[in-house]
Chains A and B, each alone.
Chain A
């Protein structure tokens, strides 16, 4: 079955006009020829440093910002001519939960307000609000003021607001920023749950690489307004992993033994520090077998052994410092 692209944008450029003096302006290129396809039902990550263009890209895709040039469709709607239809079919959660949350209204009153604004039918409002409150474990806080609940709960409230209408696309702009580890983990669980239960396509921006790694099937890495890499997390890792490495924890390795290991032409790097023998190689399996056999022959006790995979963080740092992975 063909995979349906729910978002398809090509060569999007967006400049911001920045005032540099009384009559002097300069253009800041926030998006520089961005092309992207996002599939229905996936959780897609947008990674990048501050100012990379993530939020600008989200706003263009949500119909809140007009691109200067490029083409694109969101849910089949043209980004220039059908921006109202796009906006009516997407939801967005801003980086701070306080945006759109009124501290003078209770959690429930906030949702009641937005349910009317989103034109939810009167007879369905009550049930939908209850469903969303239950779904996000907010039911017991429904009569609390937002100011009296935790930041994590407030973020859930912001997500609850976006779930009042079941739009096919949900943009989450740094949903766990400012949250403690427990709150962030809880939000991540709900993001997965929303995606699974409602088949909502989720586009997530984050600074936290582990978060993208944990949640997203595919990620795009942005830098200076460009997408410098976009692929499945595993593919990004494989592309980067030209050389494998492994670490063996063992005691009392003599310099002589280390030199003998280094002598193998497929061992590219070999270090021994804090009881950890770290080897980089272009032939992982051969060298791993060779090293283990050799250490056993030399009567060295092996306490543990692990191969080292690149994390998304390694990939991100490598890409943003060295450029695009081909």
Chain B
């Protein structure tokens, strides 16, 4: 219990430090709000173009702004949780501080999660701002009754993307990818997710092989469930994803089960690989650039 408390205290301290750093650049806050606003605006304008077109959003209702705002929310979470761990391990390595963190009683994970707070501070509130801007300025509407279940889905997408992020981060030490990019993040974020995540369009409009490819990322299931639940007029029972057509349970339940399975698989695997990576670096003398 004491160990958990000390790790928690450290995480709070890391977040405090990252907040001080983030807020020390005064323009940051204004640029940040404007960035979210303009991102939402772009998709609102896009929704004007698509209005009345034959684009098929079924079974996700008909409000394209809400559709996009929810896509943006998952994008922001994924951007931090999947894309950031590798970059933060890289920052610790190039800053030469991995040795110092290892000389502390912290677990191997706490420093990496701690420095991730910079992105958490930057990206997580964007989720709320996007929902807010969408609703206040651009006509997004939400099915408020389903918010509690949607929060559970948000937590699941948060965990499952972080699991993939951990696998990506572990490659820094485990496979010695010390440059700016590495294959796990590239394959997931820049290829599969970029093509098939469905931030801006429903997966169903893609060719079937891409729909199958999209079945291997958590975004597909999180977006499917969130859009059905939160967009007014969303159909809770129509089966549109490849896996939903195979397994005969309700789409929302299947989405949740798949997200749980992905979380249970990726997070422990990512953590295990990260520990192996640190141990390998300790054997090879590559924990920090300072030798």
Contacts and interface: CB of A to CB of B under 8 A. Distances in A.
Interface of A: 14, 16-17, 30, 55-56, 59, 62, 64-66, 83, 87-88, 90-92, 94-96, 99-100, 102, 104-105, 109, 112-114, 116-119, 122
A105 B100 CA distance: 17
Nearest to B16: A113
A96 B291 CA distance: 12
Contact of A116 (B9, B99, B282): B9
Contacts of A91: 103
B68 to A, nearest CB: 35
A23 to B, nearest CB: 14
A112 B20 CA distance: 13
Contacts of A114: 104
Contacts of B101: 117
Contacts of A113: 13, 16-17
A92 B285 contact: no
B105 A14 contact: no
Given A116-B10, A117-B10, A87 B285 contact: no
8 contacts: A17-B284, A62-B99, A65-B287, A66-B282, A87-B102, A94-B290, A99-B290, A104-B21
Contacts of A119: 6, 9-10, 104-106
Contacts of B20: 104-105, 109
Given A17-B284, A56-B285, A94-B96, 9 more contacts: A65-B283, A83-B282, A92-B100, A96-B96, A102-B17, A112-B13, A117-B101, A117-B106, A119-B106
Interface size class of B (residues with CB under 8 A): 20 to 34
Contacts of A105: 17, 20-21
A66 B285 CA distance: 8
B95 interface: yes
Contact of A16 (B13, B102, B284): B284
Given A95-B290, A99-B97, A102-B17, A64 B9 contact: no
B24 interface: yes
Contacts of A83: 282
Which of A59, A96, A116 lies at the interface centre, i.e. has the most chain B CB atoms within 10 A of its CB? A116
Contacts of A59: 99, 285
Contacts of A66: 282-283
Contacts of A109: 17, 20
A119 B104 CA distance: 8
A92 B99 contact: yes
A279 B71 CA distance: 88
Given A94-B96, A116-B10, A16 B103 contact: no
A118 B95 contact: no
A277 B97 CA distance: 55
Contact of A64 (B13, B24, B97, B103): B103
A38 B24 CA distance: 45
Contacts of B6: 119
A64 B287 contact: yes
Contact of B282 (A30, A64, A112): A64
B92 to A, nearest CB: 11
Interface in B1-38: 6, 9-10, 12-13, 16-17, 20-21, 24
B13 A116 contact: yes
Given A56-B285, A99-B95, A104-B24, A64 B17 contact: no
Sort A-B residue pairs by CB-CB distance and give the 9 closest, nearest first.
A116-B13, A99-B96, A104-B21, A100-B100, A66-B283, A119-B6, A117-B104, A119-B105, A87-B103
